């Protein structure tokens, strides 16, 4: 592949060939190593699709059923592959249908390059058919965006787009290309990848005095506690992180986007942080003497009330994005930089430690949680299935090797709490934006990004109906995605809040669903529906072993709640077990 790319560049430079803007765009994608595109054609992007007709041996295009499905698929691809996702959409409604996915990718730091078609340049500002000001619409939800009106700009702008999307703290980039620029021929002298942009510094300068201060603070700590997020995964620093906590004997808890950066059965992995996190990590946050945050942003769902958050602790914050440090929680030691570089620098200065008594505190908290919550979730005394036992059985069958893509709601929190992982890039979910409808299309992209792995989409009966049309994408491409619907016949998370905080005034949370198995069969996808515990294991096993896509609906308790829970407006140590 690399030899072919070099040959293409050399040939272009020698010939100084005249090609169209559309061809130049596709040449850029090939040289950037793109092999998969998710998209939907339309009038304003038709020249690019016409050119793509001659590139289908080098670029695989997946026709989605809705542009939102396309961008969520691009996110799933980026999250499992570690590469930049690429999405095509036309102008007007095609471009605006990307906005939710752009916002989702922005807050979750997912690298995307989205290409939108636009009306002819001379029609800009005339309210032409399917014209929208996509640049101003998407400015708040992109890392960078740019409109191209001249084909000569395409190579340089695309190079910048890929560099900006993937470097530093990743994020989505949108390039809007007018139709005349797609059709225009120009003298193409090759494509050069971007490695530097003046005034853009994706990695801040590492200050050694802060490295030393952080190590010294950790060495002196009696109750150190590490909280880690997706920055460990994005920085490909999983091994460096493991060496760091193992040398210091540091208990570590994860945000939902940090899940799978450290295998879930690691002895120093003490569980999940936040609103529905484990009891120990929440309570012990307000007991530690040094809090070490690695690649996470102190989201409100992790911290609860900031005026009651870790006030007793010295805080060390490692992050590649300087704007995140001191934004929500004041850092005593700010460690700017890529954690793949900064973690080993700190590790080298650490003393070998074993905080056995401190770790025992987390163990005792887990015993309380098992007794109050987990035993009942895994071994209910009624005939009604729980979400937790479904995920537990899925763990047994997949041995923690599967990629699990979750939608948003109770099932998401349960899956994040109970799923087991042995490999990184295995938990794909919408974290910061909480986008219902994310899972089905994201699972499509996740499968293309990790073709050799089992991909299971765990979805609620509400979220599945938001993007159910993507079953058509799965059908047409025979994508081997397993779809597990946990159906509680409610918009469960909203209902839980209404039960606990609004006197059981269930306002518009009862949701009726179609016969999902019949819908799947309409898309020529096999499926099954169960509600008996005796059929659970065999049904899950059939789903996983089926050759091709499969939909399994499992009916679970209607009014089961997710605990522990930190109520909104409370501190993390006020976490409720019941």
CATH number of the domain at 318, please.
Answer: 3.40.50.1220
∠ Cα 240 241 243 (to 5°): 65
Residues 6+ apart with CB under 8 A from 113: 84, 85, 86, 87, 158, 161, 162, 165, 172, 173, 174, 175
Q: Find the mean pLDDT for residues 131-147.
A: 98
**Residues 11, 158 within the same domain:** yes
Same domain, 456 and 345: no
For residue 14, give the H/E element and its range.
Answer: helix 2-15
- Within 10 angstroms of residue 13's Cβ, the number of other Cβ atoms is 14
Relative to beta strand 85-89, strand 36-39 is parallel
Is residue 9 predicted with pLDDT exceeding 90? no
**Total of domains in the chain:** 3
User: Which of 4, 11, 18, 129 is labelled catalytic?
Assistant: 129
Sign of CA dihedral 350, 352, 356, 359: positive
CA distance 272 to 295: 15
Model pLDDT for residues 100-111, shown as the tens digit of each residue: 999 999 999 999
Are residues 499 and 396 part of one domain?
A: yes
CB atoms within 10 A of CB 450: 22
Same domain, 258 and 325: yes
User: pLDDT category, 156, cuts 50, 70, 90?
Assistant: very high
Note the pLDDT of residue 38.
98
Q: Would you state the pLDDT for residue 578?
A: 86
- Percentages helix, strand, coil for the chain, rounded to the nearest 5? 45, 20, 40
**DSSP string for residues in 498-541:** HHHHSTT---S-B-----HHHHHHHTT-EEEEE--GGGHHHHHH
Residues 337 and 394 both lie in one domain: no
Residue 179 pLDDT: 98
What are the pLDDT digits (tens) for 268-279?
A: 999 999 999 999
Taking residues 286-308, report their average pLDDT: 97
Structure confidence at residue 247 (pLDDT): 98
Residues paired with residue 176 on neighbouring β-strands, in sequence order: 116, 147
| Catalytic hit among 272, 284, 413, 493 | 493
Per-residue pLDDT tens over the stretch 204-229: 999 999 999 999 999 999 999 999 99
In a domain, 196, yes or no: no
Residue among 107, 574, 569 nearest 306 (CA): 569
Whether 569 maps to a domain, the answer reads no
Residue 554 belongs to some domain of the structure: yes
Catalytic residue, chosen from 143, 166, 179, 447, is 179
Residues facing residue 482 across a β-bridge: 456, 550
pLDDT above 90 as % of the chain: 96
Q: For strand 172-178 and strand 36-39, is the pairing parallel, antiparallel, or unpaired?
A: unpaired
468 within some domain: yes
In a domain, 521, yes or no: yes
Q: Which residues of 224-235 are buried (b: 16+ CB within 10 A; e: fewer)?
A: bbbbbbbbbbbb
pLDDT at 196: 96
Q: Are residues 162 and 89 in the same domain?
A: yes
Same domain flag for 313 and 421: no
CA distance 539 to 488: 18
Distances (CA, A) of 198 to 112, 194, 203, 399: 22, 11, 13, 48
Over the stretch 342-373, which tens digit does the pLDDT of each residue have?
999 999 999 999 999 999 999 999 999 999 99
Q: List pLDDT tens digits, range 67-94.
A: 999 999 999 999 999 999 999 999 999 9
Helix (H, G, I), strand (E, B) or coil at 427: strand
H-only helix segments in 37-115: 46-52, 67-81, 93-96, 99-107
Output DSSP code: residue 308. G
Whether residue 13 has pLDDT greater than 80:
no
The CATH code of the domain that includes 110 is 3.40.50.970
Q: Does residue 398 share a domain with residue 347?
A: no
Residue 440: which of 417, 420, 465 has the closest Cα? 465
Residue 297 lies in a domain: yes
- Mean pLDDT value across the chain: 96
| 575 lies in some domain | no
pLDDT value for 16 = 75
Active-site entry in 23, 32, 38, 67: 67
Token pair 């990848």 in the structure block, residue: 193
Residue 223 and residue 167 in one domain: no
pLDDT of amino acid 7: 65
Residues 255, 146 within the same domain: no
Q: Reply yes or no on whether 208 is catalytic.
A: no
Same domain, 234 and 182: no
Residue 53 pLDDT exceeds 90? yes
Q: Which of 155, 187, 219 delimits the end of a domain?
A: 187
Q: For residue 32, indicate whether it is catalytic.
A: no
What is the extent of the structural domain holding 401? 385-559
179 is catalytic: yes
In a domain, 566, yes or no: no
Q: Are residues 72 and 162 in the same domain?
A: yes
Measured distance between the N- and C-terminal CA atoms of the chain, rounded to whole angstroms: 56
């Amino acid at each position: 592949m690399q030899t072919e790319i070099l040959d293409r560049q050399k040939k272009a430079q020698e010939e100084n060939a005249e090609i169209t803007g559309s061809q130049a765009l596709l040449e850029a994608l090939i040289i950037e190593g793109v092999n998969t595109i998710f998209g939907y054609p339309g009038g304003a992007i038709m020249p690019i699709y016409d050119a793509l007709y001659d590139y289908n041996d080098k670029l695989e295009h997946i026709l989605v059923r809705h542009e939102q499905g396309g961008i969520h698929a691009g996110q799933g691809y980026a999250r499992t592959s570690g590469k930049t996702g690429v999405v095509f959409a036309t102008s007007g409604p095609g471009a605006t249908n990307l906005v939710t996915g752009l916002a989702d990718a922005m807050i979750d730091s997912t690298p995307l390059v989205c290409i939108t078609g636009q009306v002819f340049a001379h029609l800009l500002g005339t309210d032409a058919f399917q014209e929208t000001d996509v640049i101003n619409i998407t400015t708040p939800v992109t890392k960078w965006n740019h409109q191209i009106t001249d084909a000569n700009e395409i190579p340089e702008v695309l190079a910048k787009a890929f560099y900006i999307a993937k470097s530093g703290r990743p994020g989505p980039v949108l390039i809007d290309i007018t139709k005349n620029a797609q059709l225009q021929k120009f003298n193409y002298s090759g494509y050069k990848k971007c490695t530097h942009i003046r005034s853009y510094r994706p990695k801040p300068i590492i200050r050694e005095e802060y490295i030393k201060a952080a190590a010294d603070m950790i060495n002196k700590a009696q109750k150190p506690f590490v909280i880690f997020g997706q920055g460990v995964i994005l920085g490909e620093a999983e091994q460096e992180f493991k060496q760091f906590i193992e040398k210091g004997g540091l208990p570590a808890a994860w945000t939902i986007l940090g899940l799978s950066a450290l295998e879930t059965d690691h002895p120093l992995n003490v569980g999940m942080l936040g609103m529905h996190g484990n009891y120990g990590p929440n309570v012990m946050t307000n007991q530690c003497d040094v809090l070490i945050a690695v690649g996470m942003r102190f989201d409100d769902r992790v911290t609860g009330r900031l005026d009651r958050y870790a006030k007793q602790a010295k805080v060390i914050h490692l992050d590649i994005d300087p704007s995140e440090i001191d934004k929500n929680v004041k850092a005593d030691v700010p460690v700017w930089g890529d954690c793949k570089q900064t973690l080993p620098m700190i590790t080298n200065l650490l003393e070998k430690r074993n905080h056995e008594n401190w770790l025992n505190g987390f163990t005792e908290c887990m015993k309380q949680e098992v007794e109050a919550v987990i035993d009942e979730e895994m071994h209910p005394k009624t005939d009604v299935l729980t979400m937790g036992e479904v995920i537990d059985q899925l763990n047994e069958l997949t041995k923690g090797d599967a990629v699990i893509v979750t939608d948003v709601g109770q099932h998401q929190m349960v899956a994040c709490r109970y799923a087991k992982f042995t490999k990184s890039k295995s938990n794909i979910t919408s974290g910061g934006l909480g986008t219902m409808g994310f899972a089905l299309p994201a699972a499509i992209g996740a499968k293309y990004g990790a073709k050799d792995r089992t991909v299971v989409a765990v979805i609620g009966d509400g979220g599945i109906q938001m993007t159910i049309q993507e079953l058509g994408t799965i059908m047409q491409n025979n994508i081997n995605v397993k779809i597990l619907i946990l159906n509680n016949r409610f918009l469960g998370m909203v209902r839980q809040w209404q039960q606990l905080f609004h006197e059981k005034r269930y306002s518009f949370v009862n949701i009726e669903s179609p016969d999902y198995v019949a819908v799947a069969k309409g898309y020529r996808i096999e499926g099954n529906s169960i509600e008996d515990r005796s059929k659970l294991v065999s049904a899950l096993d059939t789903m996983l072993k089926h050759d091709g896509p499969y939909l399994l609906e499992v009916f679970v308790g209607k009014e089961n709640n997710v605990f522990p829970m930190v109520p909104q407006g409370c501190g993390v140590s006020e976490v409720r077990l019941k």
